[in-house]
Structure 1
């Protein structure tokens, strides 16, 4: 195995970040913003190792190519980077050499894919899918500083047009564009697949956190998982556990790994029913899964949850668990409301731009929760990933749902969600 290009600097000047669902939208925006904010704030000798995940090699290649174009544009045109170089000569190639793009494939609705991806990250190697060298150069990842769980699935089938116009006149435009209730979803969407880890699928055991799930096949050879639940919560939940050897630390003096969950501004308490834990029977599986994400992240550090959390945050290998006893921290964010085409509608191009204009209008009317673009919606998770530990502890950041906000003029900021 060849030496990695970032090995020439000490570990404290290396930052390893993995982002799921990074081929478009908010996920791609997170990666772009990570590059920009890292280069703008970290020492000029530091290196960023960015690992976007997608569901296919083709999408990984396209994502890395897009990110490399963004990196090159930032390195060559940013006045801030030139000013940071001071009076010395600024060479964009020096900046390009400090950001390394690798990728791997992950399908959160396919549990074997989740385990395979995690195993490859922990014990295998990663490559750059655009590497012209054949075979591509492979690198071992020593740790992960942050993983940003962005990938998700809405499960929507269309819009309730009557409900949309009724809500506009009865609730107002801002409420409709912030907490929409007119999206249609298909109840009963499930995945049926053979488990690869029997202890992490729904069972009747009271110790299993999924034992309250109502819609699954109790035969251990064929568990049923809610499609949206698996894509938005369970796949990431399993993935984080399997990545513990990379996220855990040996001593409290080391910066702990961070797991940054992406929720939504939409879910409310009524969206989560414990008798339908996976959101299979509800007409709002997306909102149910995001409310569950809120509960899962915000309760992960509470004393009442430690009986279950202790085993979850312990690596499976006893030797690794003994060597790396310091668990990672969970943080919760949401991107605000961004323009996306996640639900099928007639005349999608026209309606997408109409929807995007409506989101800008909501922001101009005073809403802080309409960043509109994926790049703007990435400010909260990127802030968590790059912020120093002391600041996060002082703010008690693990107890807060952090949202991406934007002012009337479009200036992005991080805001606590009430």
Structure 2
């Protein structure tokens, strides 16, 4: 197959210069440099039809759009990614079909850098315009970037949680103290904007490019992967605090709101015959620079890593120790043919129904199937795999996903209108999407 005949994936990764975003780029490069990448193979064998081949050969070129706030860090990350790919290529025996394939892939891979600041909606709109002018389509958007307003660790709460349940302490850590009321330059909740709304604006602005990919391939719809967390908990009041400025656990709340919104996006996409598919992914629990910044002196970081190893040994599947392994769910959902990806999850397969802090409600005991969340996980000795867990419903607010999506859409339209008329100080009072007394 010539390069003129081969398809080229154009994958946009936000926050690609570090952490999980860097791990996703790294894993994509290593996987696609193989003719039969393991992450592209159907892991959910029950979805295979009788007699259907189980080996997938993507045979595609790759462009990664590294959407980063710091172009300097992005440049450093890009060079590091090229070096990692070259190291992998050098590990393949020369004069073999595998080496020839990887060398050919290396010659045609492209890592492109574009500046994107999710905390400034104008930056998102300008980024989308720039990307739309440069690329004919986008096959995938991986909404990875995000933040939490962590300030310090409460060690009393940490030891109390560890005493009560180490596994719960590592999955739902309540000892990471967060600042409440932090606003962005747009006068929106900072965590809400960076983790939810900024990515929604990105998706909506680039929707024509996603549709262009679907029209081009006619077989594989474009995909948007939304980075959630296993620590998602709806610890907020959707009526009085939709932008999560009043809750002291805005990070967990943002991921729960995101889960429900993506669930709604998926339902509406199916109902409308959309050309874009939406998936929820999580990286499990991985040590990143965000966590390291809280663990000073360095001995505390070492103790936390030891605690993570202990939790994995006693049964937690969610603790991973490299961003490459933590990216398995994101890359698997990027490369696996959509017909092999389950669209539902067994609500009773991973956990019994139980109340989560802040929900004030339990998992729907009558629902046998739920919307799936694909999480990076690993076995006790470190072999990574993809774990499917159900998105927890919110019985007290069953329409919160639709409401969250509507809030984002109205506010997105307000910002688009603002850019059209050239108003510099935000939407006029009373504009659509007015929440928390801000834009």
Shorter-chain TM-score range: 0.7 to 0.9
1:71 matched to 2:85? The reply is: yes
* The one of 182, 185, 198 aligned to 2:178: 185
CA RMSD of aligned residues (A): 2.6
What do the CA deviations read for 1:167-225 (whole angstroms, capped 9, x no partner)? 1112x2111011111111111101243xxxxxxxxxxxxxxxxxxxxxxxxxxxxxx20
1:347 matched to 2:296? The reply is: yes
CA distance in 2, matches of 1:304, 1:106: 26
* The one of 277, 283, 286 aligned to 1:329: 277
Which residue of structure 1 lines up, in the alignment, with residue 265 of structure 2?
Answer: 300
Aligned length in residues:
343
Q: 1:101 to 1:304 in 2, by over 3 A?
A: closer
1:117 matched to 2:127? The reply is: yes
Which residue of structure 2 lines up, in the alignment, with residue 241 of structure 1?
Answer: 204
Q: 1:92 to 1:244 in 2, by over 3 A?
A: closer
Shift of 1:73: 0.9
CA distance in 2, matches of 1:175, 1:189: 28
Q: 1:228 to 1:416 in 2, by over 3 A?
A: same
Which residue of structure 1 lines up, in the alignment, with residue 340 of structure 2?
Answer: 391
Shift of 1:94: 2.6
The answer to whether the 8 Å contact 1:339/1:352 transfers is: no
Which residue of structure 1 lines up, in the alignment, with residue 61 of structure 2?
Answer: 47
* The one of 254, 268, 278 aligned to 1:289: 254
3-state SS in 2 of match to 1:174: helix
Q: 1:277 to 1:66 in 2, by over 3 A?
A: same
The answer to whether the 8 Å contact 1:188/1:281 transfers is: yes
The answer to whether the 8 Å contact 1:271/1:291 transfers is: no
Which residue of structure 1 lines up, in the alignment, with residue 169 of structure 2?
Answer: 176
Which residue of structure 2 lines up, in the alignment, with residue 213 of structure 1?
Answer: none
Which residue of structure 2 lines up, in the alignment, with residue 210 of structure 1?
Answer: none
Which residue of structure 2 lines up, in the alignment, with residue 406 of structure 1?
Answer: 378
Shift of 1:93: 3.7
Which residue of structure 2 lines up, in the alignment, with residue 200 of structure 1?
Answer: none
Shift of 1:345: 3.0
Gaps of 5+ in 2: 38-56, 346-369, 391-439
The answer to whether the 8 Å contact 2:269/2:276 transfers is: no
Give the TM-score, by structure 2 length. 0.72
3-state SS in 1 of match to 2:321: coil
Shift of 1:91: 7.7
What do the CA deviations read for 1:270-290 (whole angstroms, capped 9, x no partner)? 456442111100000101111
3-state SS in 1 of match to 2:124: helix
Task: Map 1:199-238 to 2 at 5 A.
Answer: 224-238=187-201
The answer to whether the 8 Å contact 1:18/1:52 transfers is: yes
1:161 matched to 2:155? The reply is: yes
What do the CA deviations read for 1:128-174 (whole angstroms, capped 9, x no partner)? xxxxxxxxxxxxx221111111101011111111111111112x211
Which residue of structure 2 lines up, in the alignment, with residue 255 of structure 1?
Answer: 220
The answer to whether the 8 Å contact 2:222/2:277 transfers is: yes
The answer to whether the 8 Å contact 1:252/1:326 transfers is: no
The answer to whether the 8 Å contact 1:340/1:352 transfers is: no
The answer to whether the 8 Å contact 2:183/2:190 transfers is: yes
Shift of 1:50: 1.4
The answer to whether the 8 Å contact 2:29/2:85 transfers is: yes
Gaps of 5+ in 1: 1-6, 126-140, 194-223, 311-324
1:24 matched to 2:18? The reply is: yes
The answer to whether the 8 Å contact 2:376/2:385 transfers is: yes
Shift of 1:336: 0.5
Give the TM-score, by structure 1 length. 0.76
Shift of 1:92: 5.8
Which residue of structure 1 lines up, in the alignment, with residue 348 of structure 2?
Answer: none
CA distance in 2, matches of 1:23, 1:382: 17
Which residue of structure 1 lines up, in the alignment, with residue 70 of structure 2?
Answer: 56
